[in-house]
Structure 1
Amino acid sequence: MADRYLSFTGTAPGRFLTRRLGLPQPAALRRWSPGSPGFVGGVLHLTAGKSELSGPAFPEFPSPSDAPAAVLLDATGVRDVEGLAEVHAALHPVVRSVDASGRVVVLGAPLSSGDHHQAAAQQALEGFTRSLGKEIGRGRTVNLVRLTDTSAAESTLRFLLSPKSAYVSGQVIEVGQPQEVDVDIDRDLPLAGRTALVTGGARGIGAAVAETLARDGARVVVLDVPGASADAERLAARLGGSSLALDVTAPDAGARIAEALPDCLDVLVHNAGITRDRRLANMPAERWSSVLDVNLASVLRTTDALLETGTLRRGGRIVATASIAGLAGNTGQTNYGASKAGVVGLVRSLAPRAAAEHGVTVNAVAPGFIETKMTAAIPLFIREAGRRMNSLGQGGLPVDVAETTAWLAHPASGAVNGQVVRVCGQSLLGA
């Protein structure tokens, strides 16, 4: 559905009127497209404190000529309050010059359990980046990446410093030790030779995820309920993949998926989900149980089955779909919020064990207000509030969730594990 307010604010009268009335002035976001895959400007590298990074050098990015498209600040060496002054000194002179829809990425270090001065300074970076994200404007984003080894950071930095991360801001992403990759990765087709299964993939966000993974070279299996089989088949045919008509709540869903994938699976995307909104006092048991069964129980069952049978290969990726409703809560969505918070718990508990025992990473995306048929049906004033209550002042698109999923599915993203990444434009809810 078109965002008429965003279109209006892009006109001269719209800019004048919204400025005079103190209304939000969202900027049109620049997203990835085949003809414009990257930013025109370069990346400005800055340092605060003495860098503590190890490993190979950062991936090469072009240097800026005038207005940088992005700023990468290495603050891993900030260990005290004096070091935080260097963060200010580094970014203060340049923050205004970052191009529209540009990026600021701050690199931090893990918090030290034995040095509370370092821990305080590094934790301060979270408040700094989230605050900067709320004031920087013009469609620009700010994120913090905690890491210790540059060799594990390439896929994450390429994502966050690109148009693919247009609706990801105010996030803190932890990057651990690199995971061995057996084959050379084609930068244009990183998922070539890999099979990806997307549940609830026939429409909406699921269809965008399937399209994006196919763009990156994956053979995509579009799974959806039998009632959506026609849409799933059409999408799969267009993407050169296949479809699977299956109710994920079936007790044998995991076994049937394994049977349909004799050559195994590399990427499992849990996207299937439903809402049955009503305040708790008015919510019958059926509305509660149906949402929990689709959104959480089926995710648990199929994940367990596909790991236990070895259907999900070593080096595989599990990307589940949470929601900011599970992180911040939402009126009328106790069932939905519980199910999506449960997905977060699954990710945080399973991620270290799945990596150790199966060589598989487990992460989640947590969408905010995304422009879909479901949000288009929301009453006008509530819909407008949902769109504006984030730092970017607009709703996201299904492709924003898809690009984040593709980054987490990337073969070089093995050091990103146990993360829940909000795709919400830095929503003011639960921020």
Structure 2
Amino acid sequence: MTDTYTKLANGKWTSGLFKALNLPQPVTLTRFSQGSDLISGRLLIGAATNSELIKPIIDTFNDADISISYPNSTSKLANLNNQFNTTSLNATSISLNAIGKSDKFNGIIFDASGIKTSEQLSALHRFFQPVIKQLSGCSRVIILGRPSDQLEDISYATAQRSLEGFSRSLAKEIGKNGSTCQLMYVQSGSESLLQAPLRFLASAKSAYISAQVITVKPGTLQGSINIDKPLHGKTALVTGASRGIGAAIAETLARDGAHVICLDIPALKTDLEKIAHRLKGSAIVADITSDDAPRHIANFVRESSLDIIVHNAGVTKDKTLARMTNNHWDILMDINLSAMERINKQLLDEDLLNKHGRIICVSSMSGIAGNFGQTNYATSKAAVIGYVNAMQKPLANKYITINAVAPGFIETKMTAAIPFTVREAGRRMNSLKQGGKPVDVAEAIAFFAQPQAAGVTGNTIRICGQSLIGA
């Protein structure tokens, strides 16, 4: 759906009026397009004293065609000369105190893992304060630390937990120019698994994701990174694939090299078969709530060597709780939650999801923040997050990861039907001041699906432009 407001706010003849009236002027976000560089521009990489993650950060960008700068030794900041001098990177040392207006950065990455006391938190200020205004539009800021619940030292755990407040606040400050900020917590032993999440978060594929916390855990890496076709040779099942977000997911997984099995209900058979044919994939026509659906799906994928399952199918049946019938509650819960559980159980019990497989579930911001008239929907989507958290440990025995995305306001036919004033509020109530696109959800799912995302499990990423509603 067209966002007329954003077009006018950035129009040649109208942008001046919006600025004069102090109206929000959403930046047109830079999104990934086929053939473009995954990562481009100039990066600034820094670290606090005694930080432990700088080497895997440098290794991540060793083959990228980018220019990298790093700060000279400064109080409370690490001296990075030795680390960069041992690499083949095009890296240049700069003085943070001498940053000029012409110095522009497309990304800033800071290793904060060495911040172990409240006094050392000043390293965040010393590093970011001189450079944050030098971010180009639609840039990326990534902060890395250690998860506080894994640390025994109280001061260390306290300092690392503070990174969430810093990163979320910084995201709100830089969102006005389309830039984003993320926090990565890296568990000890998972340092070699940073490439996939770092490359995703630093790229245009994460355009509508901001203020998120991703935890990287120990895992087993399968193969090397194929930047152009990271899902080459993989087979993915996508439910609710005939239109909207589901169609975007199927298209993005196919773009990345996967054979996509598209599933949807009989009423959408024509649309389903069209997209499956266009993507050179397969189609399953099934109602996922029917008693025989899990068996039918299992029989279909038995010869397909299934690697990825994306549970996207879902409905809304909005009523206030006082007016909600048993039917409104039961049907929604069966589609949004119970069917997913039954399908997974069937496929896992029959060992039909390959070792190193990926399960990705679609939750919602409603499951995090709640929503008026959506007690049923919010319950189901909160349960999806709980399911992901609970399943990560038993699935780890088969090296299978499970994660979720929680979309906020995404421009679809469903949101187009929302009354104008409510729709505009939904679009603007985030740090990027605009709605997302189905492809924004799809890109996050494609990241979770990568074989190289072996250390990313049990996470729920909000795709909401840092919605001002919810955590």
Do these two structures clear the TM 0.5 threshold for a shared fold by scoring above it? yes
Deviation string, structure 1 residues 119-145 (Cα, Å, up to 9, x no partner): 111111100000010111200000000
Q: CA deviation at 1:418?
A: 0.3
Report the Cα distance in structure 2 between the residues aligned to 1:251 and 1:400, rounded to whole angstroms: 33
User: What is the match of residue 106 of structure 1?
Assistant: 143
Change (3 A) 1:359 1:388: same
Say whether the 8 Å CA contact 1:319–1:365 is kept in structure 2: yes
Report the Cα distance in structure 2 between the residues aligned to 1:17 and 1:124, rounded to whole angstroms: 40
Report the Cα distance in structure 2 between the residues aligned to 1:64 and 1:22, rounded to whole angstroms: 36
What root-mean-square deviation, in Å, do the aligned CA atoms of Structure 1 and Structure 2 show?
1.5
Deviation string, structure 1 residues 146-174 (Cα, Å, up to 9, x no partner): 11443111110010000000000000000
User: What is the match of residue 51 of structure 2?
Assistant: 51
Equivalent residue for 1:318, pick from 359, 382, 405: 359
Report the Cα distance in structure 1 between the residues aligned to 2:345 and 2:422, rounded to whole angstroms: 38
Q: CA deviation at 1:93?
A: 1.0
Q: Once structures 1 and 2 are overlaid, which stretch shifts more, 21-30 or 211-220? A: 21-30
Is 1:141 paired with 2:145?
no
Q: CA deviation at 1:23?
A: 2.4
Report the Cα distance in structure 2 between the residues aligned to 1:127 and 1:39, rounded to whole angstroms: 27
Q: CA deviation at 1:184?
A: 4.0
Report the Cα distance in structure 2 between the residues aligned to 1:143 and 1:336, rounded to whole angstroms: 28
**For residue 179 of structure 2, what is the amino acid of its counterpart?**
R
Q: Secondary structure at the match of 2:105?
A: coil
Equivalent residue for 1:198, pick from 225, 230, 238: 238
Is 1:404 paired with 2:444?
yes
Post-superposition, which runs of at least 4 consecutive aligned residues in structure 1 deviate over 6 A?
none
Identity across the alignment (%): 47
**For residue 79 of structure 1, what is the amino acid of its counterpart?**
K
Is 1:20 paired with 2:24?
no
Is 1:387 paired with 2:424?
no
Structure 1, unpaired ranges of 5+: none
**For residue 59 of structure 2, what is the amino acid of its counterpart?**
F
Report the Cα distance in structure 2 between the residues aligned to 1:55 and 1:86, rounded to whole angstroms: 19
Report the Cα distance in structure 2 between the residues aligned to 1:26 and 1:395, rounded to whole angstroms: 10
**For residue 5 of structure 2, what is the amino acid of its counterpart?**
Y
User: What is the match of residue 273 of structure 1?
Assistant: 314
User: What is the match of residue 226 of structure 2?
Assistant: 186
Q: Secondary structure at the match of 1:267?
A: strand
Report the Cα distance in structure 1 between the residues aligned to 2:118 and 2:59, rounded to whole angstroms: 26
Report the Cα distance in structure 2 between the residues aligned to 1:24 and 1:352, rounded to whole angstroms: 44
Deviation string, structure 1 residues 50-82 (Cα, Å, up to 9, x no partner): 112387553124224841111110111111122
Q: Secondary structure at the match of 1:76?
A: coil
Report the Cα distance in structure 2 between the residues aligned to 1:150 and 1:42, rounded to whole angstroms: 24
Q: CA deviation at 1:19?
A: 3.1
Q: Once structures 1 and 2 are overlaid, which stretch shifts more, 10-19 or 321-330? A: 10-19
User: What is the match of residue 361 of structure 1?
Assistant: 401
Is 1:329 paired with 2:329?
no
Report the Cα distance in structure 2 between the residues aligned to 1:186 and 1:174, rounded to whole angstroms: 23
Q: Secondary structure at the match of 2:48?
A: strand
User: What is the match of residue 126 of structure 1?
Assistant: 164
Say whether the 8 Å CA contact 1:54–1:150 is kept in structure 2: no
Report the Cα distance in structure 2 between the residues aligned to 1:35 and 1:360, rounded to whole angstroms: 30
Equivalent residue for 2:67, pick from 38, 48, 63: 63
Q: Secondary structure at the match of 1:120?
A: helix
Q: Secondary structure at the match of 2:44?
A: strand
Q: CA deviation at 1:47?
A: 0.8
Q: CA deviation at 1:251?
A: 2.2
Report the Cα distance in structure 1 between the residues aligned to 2:213 and 2:37, rounded to whole angstroms: 24
Equivalent residue for 2:279, pick from 212, 221, 239: 239
Normalising by structure 2, we get a TM-score of 0.88
Report the Cα distance in structure 1 between the residues aligned to 2:55 and 2:109, rounded to whole angstroms: 17
Is 1:284 paired with 2:284?
no
**For residue 82 of structure 1, what is the amino acid of its counterpart?**
E
Report the Cα distance in structure 1 between the residues aligned to 2:413 and 2:37, rounded to whole angstroms: 27
**For residue 70 of structure 1, what is the amino acid of its counterpart?**
G
Q: CA deviation at 1:44?
A: 1.2
Q: Secondary structure at the match of 2:236?
A: strand
Q: Secondary structure at the match of 1:102?
A: strand
Say whether the 8 Å CA contact 2:318–2:374 is kept in structure 1: yes
Change (3 A) 1:260 1:55: farther
User: What is the match of residue 124 of structure 2?
Assistant: 87
Q: CA deviation at 1:26?
A: 1.1
Deviation string, structure 1 residues 335-383 (Cα, Å, up to 9, x no partner): 1101100101100001111112x22111000000000000000000000
Say whether the 8 Å CA contact 1:323–1:366 is kept in structure 2: yes
Q: Secondary structure at the match of 1:77?
A: coil
Deviation string, structure 1 residues 179-211 (Cα, Å, up to 9, x no partner): 231x44422111111100000001000000000
Say whether the 8 Å CA contact 1:58–1:151 is kept in structure 2: no
User: What is the match of residue 199 of structure 2?
Assistant: 158
Q: Secondary structure at the match of 2:26?
A: coil
